[in-house]
Amino acid sequence: MSAGMERRAVSRHLRLLGAQMRLSMLAALEYRVGFWTEGVVGLAWSLGGVVPLFVAFEHRSDVAGWGPWELVLLTGFFLIISGVYASAVQPAVSKSMTQIRTGTLDYVLLRPVDALASCLTAQFEPWSLLEALTGIGLVIVAAVELELSPSLGQLGALLVVLVSGLVSLVALGVLMLCASFRALELQNLTSLMETLLGFAHWPISVFRGPLKLVFTFVVPFAVMTSYPAQSLIGGLGWPELVGAVGTTLALAIGARVIWGRALRGYTSASS
């Protein structure tokens, strides 16, 4: 493929993303009271997960070596990840699962764009971005309280692990979507993922043994929340940074390969 064709393909996919996000935004704004209600409820639900942290601090001065404001920093990154999941990954995967179950994925496959890109932009719930914005606010407040002055190297590490965490989150969404090709009753996988995401509230140092390995290399919550916080605090070393990138690449490549195989076994409505 020539450079010009590649640019046109990228442009086409970006226009698709923009169009589907606009449609989702317009649909959400049709009921403005519901728009803000959903956002506030989702935000309150996520912030409610912080309560166990404060309960823990009533009995001890730190949690697995993390102080109060350090955990607020981690919670900020958790809300960013949770907001992205609730606004983009979960609704798109859920809608695509419905299309697979009903056979209407045919119409997606006929579009002149990558089918996976279409599925991952199938639906967007903008009100859930309030969680991500609140998370950014918490990160800023915690950084000020901790008097953090990150170097360029630390900011670079933060960017790397943030991108890695978001890519890992999307890759997990793709794997859930692939599972629905084989077992159509697995529609509740997105809810299961949302429940598992609650473990990312806690620093990875809380976990031991197999759980720590799972949450670092299989379902990499450490990359999504703990590593970004550690990169600002100064506790993220090269082994963790390289491990985060390696884990993300393996997960993303694996998800893409499994998607291709799942798509080849898809039985359309017209079959």
Mean of the pLDDT values across residues 9-15? 72
Q: For residue 63, what are the β-bridge partners?
A: 66
3-state secondary structure of 50: coil
> Which comes out higher in pLDDT, residue 176 or 24?
176
Angstrom distance (rounded) from CA 243 to CA 249: 10
Q: Domain for residue 144, yes or no?
A: yes
Mean of the pLDDT values across residues 54-59? 66
Q: Domain for residue 244, yes or no?
A: yes
Angstrom distance (rounded) from CA 129 to CA 152: 28
pLDDT for 81 equals: 93
- Total of domains in the chain: 1
Among 150, 155, 164, smallest CA distance to 245 is for 164
Helices vs strands, H then E, count in the chain: 14, 0
* Terminal CA-CA length for the chain: 32
Q: Are 124 and 88 in contact (CB under 8 A)?
A: yes
Q: Are 95 and 122 in contact (CB under 8 A)?
A: yes
Among 183, 177, 189, smallest CA distance to 119 is for 177
Tokens 């390696």, residue? Answer: 246
% of the chain surpassing 70 pLDDT:
78
pLDDT band at 196 (very low <50, low <70, confident <90, very high): confident
- The amino acid present at 229, given as its one-letter code, is A
Convert the pLDDT of each residue in 212-227 to its tens digit: 999 999 999 999 999 9
Element (H, E) at 84: helix 68-84
Token pair recorded at residue 130: 């309030």
Token pair recorded at residue 47: 């912030």
Q: Domain for residue 110, yes or no?
A: yes
What CA–CA distances, in Å, run from 31 to 19, 28, 131? 20, 6, 20
Domain ranges, residue 121: 9-264
Convert the pLDDT of each residue in 98-151 to its tens digit: 888 887 888 888 877 788 888 888 888 877 788 888 889 889 999 999 998 888
Q: What is the mean pLDDT of the chain?
A: 82
3-state secondary structure of 63: strand
Q: Domain for residue 212, yes or no?
A: yes
Q: Domain for residue 256, yes or no?
A: yes
Q: Domain for residue 2, yes or no?
A: no
Mean of the pLDDT values across residues 264-270? 68
Tokens 């190297």, residue? Answer: 153
pLDDT for 234 equals: 84
- Burial (Cβ within 10 Å: 0-12, 13-18, ≥19) of residue 30: exposed
Q: Domain for residue 3, yes or no?
A: no
Q: Domain for residue 1, yes or no?
A: no
**Helix-, strand-, coil-residue percentages of the chain, each rounded to 5:** 80, 0, 20
pLDDT surpasses 80 at 258: yes
Tokens 């958790």, residue? Answer: 78
